[in-house]
Amino acid sequence: MTTARPTPALAPDPTPVPDPAPDMAAWPPLDDRRADAGRALLDWAATTDGSLPRLCVLRGARGSGKSHLLAWLLVGSPADRRTTAHATVPAAGLITDAVAWEMGRQLGYGPLPPHRLLDRVAADERPLLLLVPDLHLAGRGAPGDAPAGPRQIVDELLLPLLRLSHVRAVAETGTTDLLADEVEAPWTIDLGDAPYAGATPPAATAPGGAPPADFASLDATVPRTAAGRPVWDQAPPSAREHILDAALGVDDGGTAARALLADPGFLVHGSPTAITAALRDATTVAPAGLRAIWSRAAPHLSAADGAPERAALLHAAALATSPTLTEYLRPLAQAHPWTASWARHDAPVAAHCLLPGKDGRLLVADPLGRLCLHDPTTGERTGALPSPATLRPYGIAAADPDTVLLFDESGPLCPLTPDDEGMAATVLGHLAAHHGEAALTSAPSRPTALGSCGRTGTAVVGDASGAVHLWSLAEYRPLPHTRRLHSAPVTATACLRLPEDDLTFVFSAALDGTIRLWETSGDPMEAPVDRRPALVTALAAADTPVGPVLAAAWNDAELHLWHLADGAVRTLPLLHRCNTLTLTPSGRLTLGGPDGLHSLQLDLDRLWP
């Protein structure tokens, strides 16, 4: 039986002409029983004028065809803009955080916690259609005490999303009364309390989708070394996925669960969702510092591809926090194409750059404007440079170890030289004055980004009009080499010089979500290098043994690495917020931002298989 219970329709405006109903021919054919349900689902999805509820509840017994109907809708959803599903997150066995991470990824925001996802969706205001299959099977944790089951996902994420007028959702609730009372009169499609004729009933499962197995049974399936240590990479998937849930239900004072959480092998191979749920529970006893480490890595672990990547993520999150866990994970992490080298969480970073010279020290500016020198191989502080007390650097370009150009967050460029009367002061002073005068006469000419060209003494200034300006920091030039690459303010710039080919490449990113390339002996490329529904926060480029490489940090927690010779791209997860980047020819990538200064070593030969 299929029923639909809409709210009373508003009085229609006689003038507008309603959009035609979606053509079901664009979807795969349905049998007679499901055809009525499919028509009801499409009628709801295509009604975007506010006359129907913004929540559709799909009810029915197990095996009644609910999942088939949602899959059917998803297959044909792009056929009509009104029915296009923007995110689909099967909730079985998930907790609120995991649902938010995956939803954020699909919406282009990155893996965000629930409160930040709600803020981003509220600010976006684009119409969204969300599908949440198996909502009634959500939840992890001890039996009868799932810390983030369907009820919490509804209260903490789904209902707050539905309070936003531009959000609609389809939720599968089984035969439960979930969402029946929380949202007034949802549009309900009920496939009945009996399995669909001819369907094979699924195997019995426990709440949250876990198989009905106790801790002892699952533990017995895990192979062990001669010394009795579990070998998690050889354990059955069912044990890795569900053993922690079962351990939480053992009446042993938390001993079994504590042993699992203290085992680095289990952290690499166990269920990320189950571990996250256990650590969310304040009564779960865990090793010191693990909650902070796991919180840093978990959003990315939920999408990690294999044990080496999980080890690399956990190793990066544990660096400078847990030496024991770091050292255990290092060998497996180094089997991955990138490995964290060092981390300094002690101070936020506003900008940094590589200084010219053999030692290639890092010059780092904090949000208060203090300039410190750091060893690039260890991150240790080695000295400091004087800086004006009122300056808040947001970008740095270096002519030599003692001569730098600083970009203040309020807009002006400021030279910092050892001699106020020397050639360096004249060159950088003219550059700063040029952009200062331009900003005074035209607001779009205000500088918005500053980047440098490695160790070649070149700087690139981006402005609010979308133009980029290439300057020499070593020689006096009356005017820069300028091109307008964007129609929106520039957010980041970088430059790369290839002396053997006599080529100079300028890279820029802007608020329009594009990255553009300009080889300065000709015109800029017509098409962007990349365009995404996100913003670039930092760029860096280097000529490496495998060829020129461009690195771009995006605000959706992704770091993209381009092999420029063939256009291949590798995506790395960003565990920390990043607003400044440097890349060396050897593949050392240093990232700075509100969470401190961090360094990764890239295995350049393996990044682009």
pLDDT tens track for 194-247: 665 544 444 444 444 445 578 999 999 999 999 999 999 999 999 999 999 999
Distance of CA 321 to the CA centre of its chain: 22
Asked if 238 and 261 touch (Cβ cutoff 8 Å), the reply is: no
Residues 156 and 250 in one domain: no
Q: Pick from 272, 304, 336: which residue ends a domain?
A: 336
> For the domain that residue 425 is a member of, what is the CATH number?
2.130.10.10
Residues 180 and 258 in one domain: no
Residue 576 lies in a domain: yes
Q: What pLDDT is recorded for position 584?
A: 93
Asked if 545 and 553 touch (Cβ cutoff 8 Å), the reply is: no
Q: How confident is the model at residue 440 (pLDDT cuts 50, 70, 90)?
A: confident
- φ/ψ region of 258 (left if φ > 0, alpha if ψ in -120 to 50, else beta) reads alpha
> For the domain that residue 85 is a member of, what is the CATH number?
3.40.50
Residues 365 and 322 in one domain: no
pLDDT digits (tens, 9 = 90+) for 441-474: 777 889 999 998 866 788 999 999 999 999 998 8
Domain that holds residue 255: 213-336
Comparing 140-144, 219-223, 326-330, the range with the smallest average pLDDT is 140-144
Q: What pLDDT is recorded for position 1?
A: 40
Residues 308 and 415 in one domain: no
Residue 11 lies in a domain: no
All residues at 6 or more sequence positions from 31 whose CB lies less than 8 Å from its CB, including other chains: none
Residue 465 lies in a domain: yes
Q: How much is the average pLDDT of 93-109? A: 93
Q: Which residue has the higher pLDDT, 204 or 62?
A: 62
Distance of CA 170 to the CA centre of its chain: 25
Residues 459 and 547 in one domain: yes
Q: Pick from 157, 178, 207: which residue ends a domain?
A: 207
Number of domains composing the chain: 3
Q: Which residue has the higher pLDDT, 541 or 280?
A: 541
Rounded to whole angstroms, how far apart are CA atoms 508 and 470? 11
Rg (CA), the chain: 28
Residues 143 and 264 in one domain: no
Residue 230 lies in a domain: yes
Q: What pLDDT is recorded for position 443?
A: 75
The residue type of 270 is: G
Share of the chain above pLDDT 90, in %: 58
Residues 261 and 228 in one domain: yes
Q: What pLDDT is recorded for position 148?
A: 59
pTM: 0.86
Residues 254 and 301 in one domain: yes
Residues 164 and 50 in one domain: yes
Q: What pLDDT is recorded for position 229?
A: 94
Residues 398 and 541 in one domain: yes
Residues 478 and 419 in one domain: yes
Q: How much is the average pLDDT of 252-281? A: 93
Q: What pLDDT is recorded for position 347?
A: 87
* 20 burial via Cβ count (<10 Å: 0-12, 13-18, 19+): exposed
Task: Say how many C-beta atoms besides its own lie within 10 A of residue 605's C-beta.
Answer: 12
Comparing 81-90, 139-148, 366-375, 395-404, the range with the smallest average pLDDT is 139-148
Residues 300 and 439 in one domain: no
Q: Pick from 151, 185, 207: which residue ends a domain?
A: 207
On the question of pLDDT at 26 being above 80, the answer is no
On the question of pLDDT at 10 being above 60, the answer is no
